[in-house]
């Protein structure tokens, strides 16, 4: 019978117990939560679950809607947590990153459709309203009543359809015994439509269908923009999830290789990683001489030679021959999964940031409700006329309705985003401008951010004649970063005969019957002689032609042309600067010295960068992180505000708040200027809305404003804040 109850209570594909996994001594469950829109929702969900049996922690990422739960006890407790969330007004289901994009897209489409319907209704009902207004005294009563009925037929279905995002949110808030901005919006729309319908039925007075439709249209614009920007902010975790290998090849005890899902790998399994494949889980190398792309961990583009027994991390790419490894962790406990969790934790901390609009809403809602209630009671006591009391109360709600407040921030964001786009800067987070305006500390990655992330041959003039072309005949066939640097320096040309690339060594072949080799010092049997110079720590490779003495080639990762300009611009704007790099400490020191950076750290892993960011925040700084690598994504998400380069990895671009197109670092100070100007425009808009309310509210309370005039005034206030936002478009 218990099983039958389970089948009735849960869809078998959605039963949360099937998605519970072990996490050390505890159980872990990830849920996709619907309906969370602000920092208050996070607090409500996390606090609402804290008294549940066995719960150890519950952390919600607002951008992705992912609720990470840790608990102890039986797996069946997962159902209790889902039921508790449903009671709080937030339906939840097991989290599936692969379906998250479609869910976000569907939400945006719903808002867009609702906005389109509200816009269509507003345009049409305004035509009817203008006819009624302009024909006052001349239009017959029957015609006027007909126009009112037509307006009702247009607006009432529109309100029922387009108002659902606000009505649903208001109902959830009231069920949880608190109010949000959607409560007065819903109340004003219902009262305006209800009174208008009553006035239409009795055949006298004014109707306010146009005000209800216009209000929904303006507010849906703001809600759609906010949803669009917030959805972009949560893409990084989905990209990271997609980077994890889905399949692993396990070597069975009898030597047979079988393909299994990567999530089924357990510690101790022997795995085979083919050339070009990703390492599926963390492990230990069993074979010698593997060459790996380790940019996930270090951010460096030059492949690393791994020896037997070395630690391997999920997400690394095998650039050489197939090798065997022993799994030391399950997929959910691997480095890439940890980076994903770090990114989400950083995004969550940023989503807890309370926007100016949220703070204004916290003051607005109780004040407006109190004024409207006092107006209703006061007029009932003084006049004993319910109709007059209701009309004046509705006028208060309409004239103070948060249309201007709701547009104060989105209007500025739209204008600022357009200006940033013209300057080659893309903004991806709804509150990024507010945070960038307050930032006071800039942290830079090295490789690919301050430098080009591409090795460059720097001793061309010191090379013997024909040495560059000999090396290029080998290098033109290789994808190794140093080989590409040689090919770029030499240009197009022929290739050597009998070419062979040795994993962990280099290239060898024959040119006119003479053996030629190009590769690392250890492979060539010469002493490594790398050193620092004013362009940063050099890398080297050696060329041997026949029995001639080997020739040393030096490479350096050149600084970006405008790196110094960008740093100086930030210094002028009172920023403190620091370099954090995954490269070797002496390489980071050389770049820091060249750029005049007194604060720097090298040899850092993703967790180290996060620790430094968190330390800065704890010290009271508001750091902006500028990076480009996959290993920078967690730090980008953890920073107060983050910027990525346009050529950066997709994960880093997704984790960042702003993306610099064309990789021009000098645009960062300009972005700071625009952000600070945007903050000023937003504050001015709030001041305009407050001034408007200070003038309009007393008039409405004392009966000098009809709901019709209130609706017009409400629209005028929206236009006013929009025009003020447009001032930002002027340089």
Active-site residue list: 445
- Distance, in Å, from the CA atom of 472 to the CA atom of 489, rounded to the nearest integer, reads 8
The answer to whether 19 and 77 are in contact (CB under 8 A) is no
DSSP 549: P
Token duo for residue 660:
């610099």
DSSP 252: -
- Distance, in Å, from the CA atom of 632 to the CA atom of 549, rounded to the nearest integer, reads 42
578: enclosing H helix or E strand: strand 576-580
In the chain, count of helices (H) and strands (E)? 25, 29
Nearest to 279 by CA among 328, 250, 304, 244: 244
C-alpha of 253 from chain center: 44
What HEC string does 362-411 produce? HHHHHHHHHHHHHHHHHHHHHHCCHHHHHHHHHHHHHHCCCHHHHHHHHH
Residues 6+ apart with CB under 8 A from 560: 450, 451, 452, 663, 665
Nearest to 685 by CA among 411, 288, 472: 411
The answer to whether 708 and 208 are in contact (CB under 8 A) is yes
- Distance, in Å, from the CA atom of 671 to the CA atom of 661, rounded to the nearest integer, reads 12
Radius of gyration (C-alpha) of the chain in whole angstroms: 32
- Distance, in Å, from the CA atom of 111 to the CA atom of 670, rounded to the nearest integer, reads 33
The Cβ-side half-sphere exposure at 726, using a 13 Å CA radius, reads 6
- Distance, in Å, from the CA atom of 472 to the CA atom of 31, rounded to the nearest integer, reads 54
Token duo for residue 309:
């027994």
Nearest to 271 by CA among 314, 228, 236, 214: 314
Pairing of strands 290-293, 317-318: antiparallel
């Amino acid at each position: 019978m218990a099983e039958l109850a389970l089948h009735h209570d849960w869809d078998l594909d959605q039963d949360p117990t099937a998605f519970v996994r072990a996490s050390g001594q505890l159980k872990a469950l990830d849920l996709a939560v619907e309906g969370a829109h602000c920092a208050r929702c996070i607090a409500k969900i996390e606090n609402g679950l804290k008294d549940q049996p066995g719960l150890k922690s519950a952390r919600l990422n607002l951008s992705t809607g992912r609720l990470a739960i840790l608990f102890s006890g039986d797996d069946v407790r997962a159902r209790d947590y889902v039921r508790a969330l449903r009671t709080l007004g937030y339906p939840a289901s097991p989290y599936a990153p692969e379906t998250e994009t479609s869910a976000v897209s569907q939400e945006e489409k719903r808002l867009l459709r609702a906005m389109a319907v509200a816009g269509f209704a507003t345009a049409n009902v305004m035509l009817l309203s203008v006819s009624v207004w302009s024909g006052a005294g001349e239009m017959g009563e029957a015609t006027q009543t007909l126009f009112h009925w037509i307006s009702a037929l247009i607006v009432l279905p529109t309100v029922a359809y387009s108002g659902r995002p606000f009505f649903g949110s208001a109902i959830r808030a009231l069920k949880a015994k608190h109010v949000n901005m959607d409560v007065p919006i819903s109340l004003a729309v219902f009262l305006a439509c209800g009174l208008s319908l009553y006035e239409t039925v009795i055949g006298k007075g004014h109707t306010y269908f146009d005000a209800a439709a216009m209000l929904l249209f303006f507010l849906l614009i703001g809600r759609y923009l906010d949803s669009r920007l917030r959805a972009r902010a949560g893409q990084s975790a989905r990209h990271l999830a997609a980077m994890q290998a889905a399949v692993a090849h396990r070597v069975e005890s009898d030597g047979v290789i079988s393909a299994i899902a990567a999530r089924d790998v357990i510690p101790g399994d022997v795995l085979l990683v083919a050339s070009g494949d990703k390492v599926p889980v963390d492990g230990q190398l069993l074979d010698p001489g593997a060459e790996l792309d380790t940019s996930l961990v270090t951010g460096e583009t030059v492949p690393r030679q791994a020896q037997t027994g070395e630690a391997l991390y999920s997400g690394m790419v095998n650039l050489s021959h197939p090798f065997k490894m022993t799994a030391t962790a399950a997929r959910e406990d691997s480095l890439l999964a940890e980076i994903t969790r770090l990114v989400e934790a950083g995004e969550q901390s940023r989503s807890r940031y309370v926007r100016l609009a949220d703070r204004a809403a916290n003051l607005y809602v109780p004040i407006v409700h109190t004024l409207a209630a006092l107006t209703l009671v006061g007029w009932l006591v003084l006049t004993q006329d319910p109709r007059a009391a209701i009309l004046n109360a509705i006028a208060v709600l309409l004239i103070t309705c948060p249309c201007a407040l709701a547009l104060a921030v989105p209007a500025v964001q739209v204008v600022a985003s357009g200006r940033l786009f013209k300057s080659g800067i893309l903004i991806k987070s709804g509150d990024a401008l507010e945070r960038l305006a307050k930032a006071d500390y800039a942290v830079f990655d090295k490789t690919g951010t301050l430098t080009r992330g591409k090795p460059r041959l720097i001793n061309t003039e010191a090379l013997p004649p024909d040495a560059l072309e000999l090396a290029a005949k080998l290098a033109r066939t290789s994808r190794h970063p140093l080989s590409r640097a040689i090919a770029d320096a030499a240009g197009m040309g022929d290739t050597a005969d009998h070419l062979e690339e040795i994993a962990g060594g280099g290239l060898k072949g024959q040119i006119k019957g003479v053996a030629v080799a190009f590769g690392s010092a250890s492979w060539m049997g010469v002493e490594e002689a790398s050193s620092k110079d004013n362009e940063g720590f050099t890398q080297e490779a050696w060329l041997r032609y026949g029995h001639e003495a080997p020739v040393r080639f030096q490479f350096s990762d050149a600084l970006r042309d405008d790196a110094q300009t960008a740093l100086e611009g930030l210094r002028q704007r009172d920023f403190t600067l620091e370099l954090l790099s995954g490269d070797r400490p002496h390489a980071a020191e050389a770049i820091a010295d060249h750029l005049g950076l007194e604060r720097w750290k090298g040899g850092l892993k993703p967790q180290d960068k996060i620790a430094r960011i968190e330390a800065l925040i704890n010290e009271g700084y508001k750091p902006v992180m500028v990076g480009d690598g996959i290993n920078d994504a967690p730090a980008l998400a953890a920073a107060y505000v983050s910027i990525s380069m346009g050529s950066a990895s997709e994960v880093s671009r997704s984790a960042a708040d702003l993306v610099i197109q064309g990789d021009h670092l000098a645009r960062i100070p300009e972005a700071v200027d625009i952000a600070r100007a945007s903050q000023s425009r937003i504050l001015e808009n709030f001041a305009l809305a407050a001034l408007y309310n200070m003038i309009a509210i007393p008039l409405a309370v004392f009966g000098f404003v009809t709901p019709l005039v209130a609706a017009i005034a409400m629209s005028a206030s929206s236009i006013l804040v929009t025009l003020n936002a447009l001032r930002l478009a002027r340089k």
